[in-house]
Amino acid sequence: MKEPNSPDSPLADLCRQRGLKLTGQRRTIAFVLSDSDDHPDVEELYRRAVEVDPRISIATVYRTVRLFEENGILQRRDFGGGRARYEVADGDHGDHYHLIDADTGKVIEFENTELDSLLEGIVRQMGYDLVTTRLSVVGRRKAKPRSRG
């Protein structure tokens, strides 16, 4: 038996708050997501979830990830490579953005309030309210400018 207010993961709580049925599988996936600070694709999420509960199905991971996205719990990202990747949605604080290393494919997160408000302003001026920003800049590491040699 578990105590009625067992401390679930932050995402599991969010799941409940949104009125979603909190099944064992969703609890597992929510836990895995709360535990991740990278941008896993569904395959990778499935791998991590199976370590917690081996009888979970990949179909359920797909379903749950979609459900969470529809409920604003997750955000889907596209970094190329053909599969969708997911990360926990930002809360109240501003969006964050991604810099992708052109050579290694590594994803580096960054925030910038000036960028936040510039985008907000641009969109407003076009007659829209900003809903989401999807920004990833691809960059190539600069060679350190040695004194020519």
Partner DNA sequence: GTGATAATGAGAAAGATTATCATTTGCAAT
Partner DNA sequence: ATTGCAAATGATAATCTTTCTCATTATCAC
Residues that bind a second copy (CB under 8 A): 78, 99, 101-102, 108, 110, 112, 114-115, 118-119, 122-124, 126-142
Regarding 18 and contact with DNA (CB under 7 A), the answer is no
Q: Is 14 in the site for DNA (CB under 7 A)?
A: no
CA dist., res. 131 & res. 18, Å (int): 19
Q: Which residue from 93, 60, 100, 104 is spatially nearest to 79, judged by alpha carbons?
A: 100
Partner interacting with residue 87 (select from DNA, a second copy, none; CB below 5-8 Å by kind) = none
**According to CB under 7 A, which one of 11, 30, 64, 87 is a site residue for DNA?**
64
Residue 6 sits in the site that holds DNA (CB under 7 A): no
The amino acid at residue 149 is G
Contact partner at residue 106 from DNA, a second copy, none, CB < 5 to 8 Å by partner kind: none
Neighbour tally for 65: CB within 10 Å: 22
C-beta of 137: minimal distance to a second copy in Å? 5
Q: Does 55 bind DNA (CB under 7 A)?
A: yes
Q: Which of 23, 28, 61 is nearest to 42 (CA)?
A: 61
Structure tokens that stand for 34 in this block = 């709360």
The whole-angstrom separation of Cα 66 and Cα 71 is 9
- Residue 7 as a binder of DNA (CB under 7 A): the answer is no
Residue that has been written with the tokens 């179909």 in this structure: 59
Give whichever of 68 and 97 is closer to DNA, judged by the CB atom.
68
Q: Is 98 marked as a binding-site residue? A: no
List the interface residues with DNA, window 22-41 (CB under 7 A): 22-26, 41
DSSP structure string for 83-105: S-EEEEPP-SSPP-EEEEETTT-
Q: Which residues are annotated as a binding site for Fe cation?
A: 93
